[in-house]
Chains A and B, each alone.
Chain A
Amino acid sequence: MATAVGAFGGADHAASKSGVWSWITTVDHKRIGILYGVTAVTFFLIGGFEALLIRLQLAEAESTLIAAGLFNQLFTMHALTMIFLAIMPLGAAFFNFIVPLQIGARDVAFPRLNALSYWLFLFGALLLNSSFIFGGAPDVGWFAYANLTALEYSPSSAVDFFALGMLVLGVSSLAAALNFIITILNLRAPGMTLMRMPVFTWMTLVVSFLLVFALPILTVGLVQLLFWREFGMPFFSAEAGADPLLWQHIFWLFGHPEVYILILPAMGIVSEILPTYSRKPLFGYSTVVFAGVAIGFMGFAVWAHHMFTVGLGSIALAAFSASTMLIAVPTGIKIFNWIATLWGGSIQFTTAMLFALGFVALFVIGGLSGVMHASPPVDTQQQDTYFVVAHLHYVLFGGSIMGLFGGIYYWFPKMTGRLLSEGWGKLHFWLMFIGMNVTFGPMHLVGIDGMPRRINTYDESMGWELLNQIETVGAFIIALSVAVFLVNFFKSVKSGEPAGDDPWDGRTLEWSISSPPPEYNFARIPVVHSNEPFWDQKHPELKHDAPPVIAGGADGEAEESIHMPNPSYWPIVVGFGTALAAGLVIVNPWLASIGAVIGLLGIYGWVFEPAGPEHH
């Protein structure tokens, strides 16, 4: 590309490679990915801490350890934190770091927009959590049903923090999703057609499309919620003729695609890990891709299955029941493909592989309990019981979290140049796998027995105490496993075994460059002839028709002739202004203009910032 750039480029970005300022102003997708990852793991710990408090309270019948009001805040913030501040941004961390490497790009399509996404995420997350200090966190459940959110039932600012924090996080996710779609469509290396993209990149594309089409719907709902509370516009007031059910529809129109937004990145990661450690191509690549696309499409047609008990009428029940059962089909296809990938492979049981296998096993359990809810009569029995809690944790913990941890073990060497310790890693896996089943397995039983979710305590005579105690023990086993992970992480970052460029004998382009990759990723943009370009390059003997391929190595353009975008501090200014405006709305809508002015000045500076060294 930038052959005409001249020698300025190299000097310019060499000047700012370390220090806090370089992280604040970075527009490098790899650094932004690391920022996302570190922030997400931090919030994962906070959300986990909230979960431990919940489990401590429930370990004993009629416990008074945690007051009912605080308990409501804890389960609400646990859900919001895990979904929006841990799992989604952990997915975004991998999108950022890995996708450009997998498609042979030097950065994302809009590097500064990418930085803005991160800062909006961070400030939105801080705004949401600052509610703990300012009068109490949201306590209405993560789906915040009307009319519980009415001013008369939730008089504190907690619900406003929920709505505004989610709006900021939504803008962040929307910007990131737009950016990734353009990146994937427009910055693929020569020869990388859509059907040659790695499955993880494919799933990123599907997730991004889901975000682009689902988030505006949530935005409308949140705006209505906010206008209702702040300005008294009767959007969900039944006495004014409004229908509070509208909130549920709008929320789940977003909320169900959101479920796939949480699981598809993990499915993509697993589809990378299984072939690598089976030393076999993914079985039925195109089927896995199309199943992912189908899940994305159908994700918009099943939302009302969250609302089977509100009285939708029999036609709606039948329709949504059928569509829900149908969506199990592409999911099942993927599982068979993963199992068939293992079949006959020479399997290496690395930590990443264990997490991927754990994902498949636990996700099957969660999927089975999920498809049970597709039947309205069964769902009516299970609605709002711990059975649902068991189901959603098998898919979100057993599924998403296991998959994402697999991704951490798999790509950590690429990100840092060092290996995570396999010994500690396997301890981490087994503790987490056992802890997860001990925690969430018994929830099926108490749920079937009728224990309601979101209740801060229960009567001793219900006979749920023993199972709840077991669950609490399980939760602490999970906490221990996370501690093991942290030890492993910090030890390995400092003194882990050097990884080399390609520790796993990988199949996709990210393994063809050094670990950690240089700022410009590829000295020469590779040319792609198959969907496993790096594997085919390393093993030409296995493929007769493929021409000898790519070279990612150092023999490309000279480093200083590659033009990378300059760092910029405008993204953090715009992000801060936006979040400040949102936060000030709670104090006084007029005060929000202070934040808006900062944001606008940031946009002005952004637009007129000279970006390239060729424009002095």
Chain B
Amino acid sequence: MAEQELHPAQAHESAHPSPAKYILIATYLTLITIFEVLIYYVDALQDYFLWIFLVLSAVKFYYVAMFYMHLKFDARIFKTLFIFGLVLATFIMAALLLLFSIII
């Protein structure tokens, strides 16, 4: 919570990506989803499923939040607020799972 929000964030409007870029991202998202489902049926990778899926979904999450929700181009305070909520939620989920010894 530093003084960052004092920079007026007027200039960002023009930096929004073009529709072509949006469609490209949608293509990525679709490909990743197809990839996930294909991997799901590859038994040899079973031991790595957890990490593969987490990473792939994190990539999808990143694209939607950064480009569709314009976090990449908008004022930093939005990013700070949202990431804070996200990190806190992740921390709490991880802590609960640890406390109930589901993961270690």
Interface residues of A (CB under 8 A from B): 185, 193-195, 213, 217, 243, 246, 249, 253, 293, 300, 304, 312-313, 316
How distant is A214 from chain B, measured CB to nearest CB, in Å?
Answer: 10
B1 / chain A contacts, CB cutoff of 8 Å: 194, 293
The answer, among A193, A300, A312, A316, for a CB contact under 8 Å with B92, is A300
Q: Report the bound CA distance from A316 to B97 in whole Å.
A: 12
- List residues of chain A with CB within 8 A of the CB of B99: 249, 304, 312, 316
Which residues of chain B are near A249, meaning CB under 8 Å?
Answer: 96, 99
A213 to B6, Cβ gap below 8 A? no
- Minimal beta-carbon separation of A249 from chain B (angstroms): 6
Q: Counting CB contacts under 8 A, is B3 at the interface?
A: yes
* Contact indicator per residue, chain B 50-71, by CB within 8 Å of chain A (1) or not (0): 0000000000000000000000
Main secondary structure of the interface of A (DSSP, over half): helix
CB of B41 within 8 A of chain A?
no
Can you show 26 pairs from A to B with CB atoms below 8 A apart?
A: A185-B5, A185-B77, A193-B3, A193-B6, A194-B1, A194-B2, A194-B3, A195-B3, A213-B85, A213-B88, A217-B92, A243-B100, A246-B96, A246-B100, A249-B96, A249-B99, A253-B92, A293-B1, A300-B88, A300-B91, A300-B92, A304-B99, A312-B99, A313-B101, A316-B98, A316-B99
Chain B interface secondary structure, helix, strand, loop or mixed?
helix
Interface residues of B in 1-58 (CB under 8 A from A): 1-3, 5-6
Known pairs A195-B3, A217-B92 / 18 extra A-B pairs, C-beta < 8 Å: A185-B77, A193-B3, A193-B6, A194-B1, A194-B2, A194-B3, A213-B88, A243-B100, A246-B100, A249-B96, A249-B99, A253-B92, A300-B88, A300-B91, A304-B99, A312-B99, A316-B98, A316-B99
Residues on A with C-beta less than 8 A from B2 are 194
Bound CA span A195–B6, Å? 12
Count, chain B residues at interface, CB 8 A: 15
> What 4 A-B pairs come out closest when comparing CB atoms?
A316-B99, A213-B88, A249-B96, A193-B3
- Assembled-state Cα–Cα distance A300/B101 (Å): 20
B3 contact set on A, CB distance < 8 A: 193-195
Nearest B residue to A304 via CB reads B99
List, in ascending order, chain A residues with CB within 8 A of B98's CB: 316
How distant is the Cα of A243 from the Cα of B2 in the complex, in angstroms? Answer: 41
Residues in B with CB closer than 8 Å to A185 are 5, 77
CA distance A312 to B92 in the complex (A): 16
Report the Cα distance A217→B101, complex, angstroms.
20
Nearest A residue to B77, CB-CB: A185
A289 to chain B, nearest CB (A): 10
**Residues in B whose Cβ lies below 8 Å from that of A316:** 98-99
| Of listed B1, B91, B100, residue having the most chain A CB within 10 A | B1
Tell me, in angstroms, the Cα distance from A194 to B2 when the chains sit together.
Answer: 8
Q: Give min CB distance, A129 to chain B, whole Å.
A: 32
Query: In the complex, how many angstroms separate the beta carbon of A426 from the nearest chain B beta carbon?
Result: 39
In angstroms, Cα B84 to Cα A300, docked, is: 13
Q: Distance in Å from the Cβ of B7 to the closest Cβ of chain A?
A: 12
Q: How far is the CA of A293 from the CA of B77 in the complex (A)?
A: 17
Complexed CA–CA distance, A185 and B4 (Å): 11
Q: Considering the chains assembled together, what is the distance between the CA atoms of A438 and B34 in angstroms?
A: 70
What separation, in Å, do the CA atoms of A293 and B99 have in the docked complex?
Answer: 26
Given the complex, which residues of A lie within 8 Å of B101, measured CB to CB? 313
Complex formed: what's the CA distance from A253 to B77 in Å?
Answer: 25
Specify the chain B residue showing the minimal Cβ separation from A249.
B96
Interface centre among B1, B99, B101 (most CB of A within 10 A): B99
Q: Which residues of B contact A193 (CB under 8 A)?
A: 3, 6
Residues of B within 8 A of A253 (CB): 92
The residues of B that contact A243 with a CB separation of less than 8 Å are: 100
- Which of A194, A195, A246, A313 has most B Cβ within 10 Å? A194
Bound-complex Cα distance A300 to B96 (A): 12
Cβ contacts under 8 Å, A293 to chain B: 1
Q: In the complex, A300→B93 CA distance in Å? A: 12
CB distance from B104 to the nearest CB of A (A): 10
